[in-house]
Amino acid sequence: MEASTRTLEITVISVENLRVTEDAYVVVRAESLNCCTTKTVTKDDGTNFLSWNENFLLDVPVHARSITFEVQCNRFKGSRPLGVARIVATDFIGASVPENQLRMLSYGLRDWEGKRNGIIHFAVKVAPPPEERLKKTVARKGCGDRFAGRTPSEVVLLSDGPSWTEIEIT
């Protein structure tokens, strides 16, 4: 990581009260071409609730003034934006925000006409610099892997205290 960026650990948890819910996913970016994208989920249980619980490490350039959470869906021949939350970067990075403090946040989404379209729930914390992270690599093999002919995947455990975050490398 360069000195011109900071890294955020972001967990996209869920969206509620979204009007369109077919094949929805979330794109997170910080005023750069680099972005993180969740997998696509479809609402099928009759509720107004979509859940991802996906973790990302997002590099935020020092010049970034905002972080954008955009909910999109795959329809017809392309992606369609459903709602956007643009959040001031100082809500996540700044002198008043301590490192390693997990914050659970909810922000309203707006469609491209400015109308309300759901609420996004996510968790965020400032990741410590890479040299401070303890890295361990372990091999993990699930019970079903031997039947599917898969090889063990590599897992990196990042420690920043008593809790561990697991990131699978494919």
pLDDT tens-digit map of 47-57 = 788 999 999 99
In a 3-state reduction of DSSP, which class is residue 101?
coil
The string of pLDDT tens digits covering residues 57-66 is 999 998 899 9
The string of pLDDT tens digits covering residues 89-99 is 888 887 677 77
CA atoms within 13 A on the CB side of 146: 3
Neighbour-count burial for 26-37, b at 16+ CB within 10 Å, e otherwise: bbbbbeeeeebe
- CATH 2.60.40.150 corresponds to the domain 5-126: yes
